[in-house]
Amino acid sequence: MTAAGAVRPGWFGPYGGRYVPETLIPALEELEQAWAEARLDQGFLSAVAEDLRDFGGRPTPLSFAERLTRNFGGADIWLKREDLLHTGAHKLNNTVGQVRLALRMGKSRIIAETGAGQHGVATAATCARFGLSCEVFMGAEDVRRQSPNVQRMRLFGATIRTVESGSRTLKDAMNEAIRAWVTHVRDTFYVIGSVAGPHPYPTLVRELQRIIGEEARAQCLERFGALPDAVVACVGGGSNAMGAFTAFLPDASVRLVAVEAGGDGLATGKHGASLTAGSFGVLHGSASSVLQTADGQVAEAHSVSAGLDYPGVGPELAHLRDIGRLDVRTATDTEALEAFQELCRLEGILPALETSHALARARDVARELGAGKRVLVNLSGRGDKDLGHALAEIARRRPEAVT
């Protein structure tokens, strides 16, 4: 499918492109050509599909959240259960495809960046399966608050490169990963985890993640004979959102709701709401909507969720916002933590803190639409990784809430 609004390859309106050192241009051109050939190769596509079925556990189910629906008091809530994919999140959809592509290109070393750790875990697990060397760049702050995922990556044989610069989070991990790629272009494949970065990554990652929405669309038609009235997904860089939204882009009747990290509140400046409060800028190789200071420096993002703690967003999402296709909202740290607990208690499902932002705003969307309508929430990951951090944050806010 042609990307929404893309006139030139790699561009979405004014967003996208390749803003990288000259050293990386041949590597990006090589990757673009390899992907153009692979996506037309039925053998490659079949191998990826088999990996996702036999290793990943696809298709993931569509679950009706009956008690959550009653509690919200409005439209029916349906959950696309990407939390049940192997390694616990949607990230494996992308890593399987990219690592297969690396093998096709003859690359022997895999590097990746990670924030919440789910992309790092998925990359490490995929590399373990194929016997490839794997190095994961991760900010020191994220290493601290996502220690279960750090342990899993190491068990899968990955080397963790702890990043101490800047805010010591995802932005800084991506900076270091790009630097490492520049110095080892010939044998290294950089598995980017989001629909960000220089062309062709935003398109490549979207195409590998679009299986989420394609499955969900077919499941909705099978289960209740209609499309959902709204699709809700959290947005950091945007891979799970584009994965869920892409199949519904042509359907004007389906509202696409992107929920960003409101952090401590937009007025405080401590948030990760790039679509809501960002401006045109360049970050990590592409032009998009970026959180910036008054003098044009990239601002520090904040979120209780490591996966949404990023000052930029994928360029296609910025374009979809501009043309009015996205309904962009935010959820604060406190609202996300409340939604985290609510899904646990009402449905017996432990969501990731990233997903909890989407759940927080799904309540509002359900009430706006009303009874008889349907809201599809992309449950992008499970919250085992967040448990210690989330309980500590809940206790800090309301000590009586943690037993």
Which residues does the annotation mark as catalytic? 91, 113, 380
Alpha helix ranges (H) inside 261-400: 274-277, 315-322, 333-347, 353-369, 387-397
User: What gap in Å lies between CA 95 and CA 104, rounded to an integer?
Assistant: 14
Is residue 52 classed as helix, strand or coil in its secondary structure? Answer: helix
User: What gap in Å lies between CA 234 and CA 212, rounded to an integer?
Assistant: 14
Tell me, rounded to whole angstroms, the distance of Cα 217 from its chain centroid: 19
User: What gap in Å lies between CA 87 and CA 365, rounded to an integer?
Assistant: 29
User: What gap in Å lies between CA 209 and CA 69, rounded to an integer?
Assistant: 27
Is residue 210 classed as helix, strand or coil in its secondary structure? Answer: coil
User: What gap in Å lies between CA 365 and CA 45, rounded to an integer?
Assistant: 36
The label of the residue with tokens 């016997």 reads 131
What DSSP letter does each residue of 217-253 carry, written as one string? HHHHHHHHSS--SEEEEE-SS-HHHHHHHGGGTT-TT
What DSSP letter does each residue of 243-268 carry, written as one string? HHHGGGTT-TTSEEEEEEEEET-GGG
Q: What are phi and psi of 372, to 5 degrees?
A: 95, -10
